[in-house]
Structure 1
Amino acid sequence: MQWHELEAAPEYQPAWQELKEIIGQLQEFERSPREHGQIEQHLMVRSHALMRALMQAHLDRLAKQEEKQDRVIAASGTVRRQARERCRSLMTLFGEVRVHRLGYSDRRTDSVFPLDAQLNLPSQQYSHGLQERLGEVVADASFEAAVAHITHHTGGHVPKRQAEQIAHAVSADFDAFYAQRAPPAPAPPQVAEPLGVISLDGKGIVMRQEDLREETQRRAAASSHKLQSRLSRGEKRNRKRMATVAAVYEIEPHYRKAEQIMDPQAARPPAPKPIDKRLWASVQQPMSEVLDEAFAEARRRDSSGERTWLVLVDGLPEQLRQVYAAIKRHGRKAIVMQDFIHVLQYLWDAAWCLHEEGDPKAEQWVREHATDILR
């Protein structure tokens, strides 16, 4: 289609009008100067309206071009012959648009929409782009913050309840995505294999009482609070569920002396970065199941079992018991290592048993014993 035809097409008239209004406002800014931030904000807001008008025009033209068919065969193999024009809404990154298309049905059957399939429209109201943006924000912030981000930075809008449903839906393929990945290519014969690492940690999450495990609910119900509006120190103990956090990655060996680790002034060689790191967590699965997934990921990367594997833990007794049970269950050779940060914490706990709080000798005591442990 030529430019003059596009200008004349009725579907594009709202978009042309929107563009003219944007340019007209910029001309007004020339006569009455504005700061660049005001101009930038004006263009950002109006760009959503322009893009929405363009998308609506495109959808309207597709609807106009859709040809009626004698019959349509559904995915189930059944035939649909009755065609009726239907309309649905679609909330996009630019705002809400309407999708007009033909729906094919017969008695006691759901309608089939060929144009929906062509456009790969979601079954719900929100576009894939809007769902993706929401999922990215929800991963790092609250649902309230995610809803506010969508409202302030896009032309769309998603209520909180729908945001929660979208977040649940977009995470449904997490396990399937990782299960379908091909194993990484082995290193060339002349290149040494990097170390394989399985890291395991626990993170307590404060929960609503009805979402606690049954035993924790009983302990929480039997406890009392010092304050009414918030929990005091120590009172969160029976208000949490433990999430098991696991990571699997490869890393090149990094050799250092004990003094290089403990002396903040010592010269340190650049640390290698993790390779192909997979990180996941679960508050629903028990630790044993998360460990099984971690060892399955390790086997996917090293099916022959020739690589040296390390299991990095914080050293809690139950965690160690589960780790050694998983090593035995999966028949893997692995070196269990305690995270040195946790070792330091244990040393500090011991130091305060031997020294007054704030005594500089405690720091020297910790430094000496930590260095001895590293040697």
Structure 2
Amino acid sequence: MEEDAENGARELARLLLQGHFDLRARREEAELAALDAGGRAQLAAGRTRLEKEHRRQLATVVGPVTITRSALRAPGLPNCYPADQVLGLPRERHSRGLRRLVVLEAVRGSYDHALEAIERRCGARAVGKRQAEQLVRAAAVDIAAFYAARTPDPAASTTLLVLSVDGKGIVMRPGHLREATRKAAERATRTFPPTAAAAMMMNRSPVVMGSTVIAVPASPQSRRCRWSRTRRRRWPHLFSQVGRHVRVVL
């Protein structure tokens, strides 16, 4: 019963979305038909000829829908679709909501697990594996520009540079190992160490280390640490040397 209710709600959402696009299409046709040639040319960079009922398919998180829109045309120029600009539609078949879902699920694990999660969410196979890989690569095209725009200015000599380093052992697939490492792994006995670090020390598991380094600038701050009475009674000689307060610079 719950499954039927979930599928029915998803289909209802798809029909509502389809009806919204159909209503927008009828309104757009009336608005463009009311414009004269000069108004259409100003709207579409010289295109004056109006053609109605151009359709395209769009895959969304609630299912596939058909978008009908009008095209403004002119000889020697590609079609201009004002509705695509208003709705922010991508050139490809997958909607921006579905693209966002693919990226969110792909960064959590493998593509196979991401496709399973997307199918559970959408109720059907909304995107293929190769398409998911292409959508993730397309979403990551501005990463270099993102970090380049946020490159900090050089800090002063009085600013502290705090480094945080962490490492994680990652088990490699046998087909991606170097020849010597693969032979050592084949000669090793089939025992499983408790941790990846132990496996690396035993040289019995094809494990590599993935490291992450974070650099954060910090301004020095003066802080005080108050000694409690219990500590004063426990270490009287230390308290007599350092005095009542200890001043620490971090």
Give the alignment's TM-score, normalised by structure 2: 0.61
Check if 1:133 corresponds to 2:101.
Answer: yes
- Distance between the aligned counterparts of 1:250 and 1:197, measured in 2? 6
Letter aligned with residue 100 of structure 1: T
Matching of residues 2-17 of structure 1 within 5 Å? none
Unaligned runs of 5+ in 2: 153-158, 193-198, 226-249
Partner of 1:60: 22
- Secondary structure, in 3 states, of the residue corresponding to 2:92? coil
Partner of 1:81: 48
Deviations 1:145-165 (A, max 9, x none): 111111112246111111111
Displacement of 1:244 after TM fit?
Answer: 4.8
Instruction: Rate the CA distance shift 1:73–1:111 in 2: closer, same or farther, 3 A.
Output: farther
- Distance between the aligned counterparts of 1:148 and 1:100, measured in 2? 31
Matching of residues 157-168 of structure 1 within 5 Å? 157-168=126-137
Letter aligned with residue 138 of structure 2: A
**Is this contact kept in 2: 1:196–1:250, CA < 8 A?**
yes
Instruction: Rate the CA distance shift 1:119–1:255 in 2: closer, same or farther, 3 A.
Output: farther
- Distance between the aligned counterparts of 2:56 and 2:144, measured in 1? 32
- Distance between the aligned counterparts of 1:73 and 1:204, measured in 2? 60
Structure 1 runs, 4 residues or longer, greater than 6 Å off: 250-256
**Is this contact kept in 1: 2:55–2:69, CA < 8 A?**
yes
Instruction: Rate the CA distance shift 1:220–1:127 in 2: closer, same or farther, 3 A.
Output: same
- Distance between the aligned counterparts of 2:146 and 2:59, measured in 1? 26
- Secondary structure, in 3 states, of the residue corresponding to 1:111? strand
Partner of 2:242: none
Check if 1:104 corresponds to 2:72.
Answer: yes
- Distance between the aligned counterparts of 2:148 and 2:15, measured in 1? 41
- Which one of 88, 91, 96 corresponds to residue 120 of structure 1? 88
Matching of residues 122-201 of structure 1 within 5 Å? 122-155=90-123, 157-180=126-149, 197-201=162-166
**Is this contact kept in 1: 2:185–2:205, CA < 8 A?**
no
**Is this contact kept in 2: 1:198–1:247, CA < 8 A?**
yes
Displacement of 1:177 after TM fit?
Answer: 3.6
Displacement of 1:119 after TM fit?
Answer: 0.4
Give the alignment's Cα RMSD to 1 decimal.
Answer: 4.0
Matching of residues 277-316 of structure 1 within 5 Å? none
**Is this contact kept in 2: 1:83–1:102, CA < 8 A?**
yes
- Distance between the aligned counterparts of 2:173 and 2:76, measured in 1? 45
Partner of 1:226: 186
Displacement of 1:73 after TM fit?
Answer: 6.0
Instruction: Rate the CA distance shift 1:50–1:199 in 2: closer, same or farther, 3 A.
Output: same
Displacement of 1:135 after TM fit?
Answer: 1.3
Partner of 2:245: none
Letter aligned with residue 54 of structure 2: R
Give the alignment's TM-score, normalised by structure 1: 0.43
Partner of 2:239: none
Bigger RCO (CA 8 Å, 6+ sep): 2
- Distance between the aligned counterparts of 2:174 and 2:186, measured in 1? 18
Deviations 1:46-103 (A, max 9, x none): 111111100000000000111335335689xx53333333111111111111111112
- Secondary structure, in 3 states, of the residue corresponding to 1:158? coil
- Distance between the aligned counterparts of 1:243 and 1:80, measured in 2? 55
Displacement of 1:124 after TM fit?
Answer: 1.5
Deviations 1:177-230 (A, max 9, x none): 4454698xxxxxxxxxx9753324455653686xx7xxx867679x57628xx9
Displacement of 1:249 after TM fit?
Answer: 4.6
Letter aligned with residue 130 of structure 1: L
More strand by share: 2
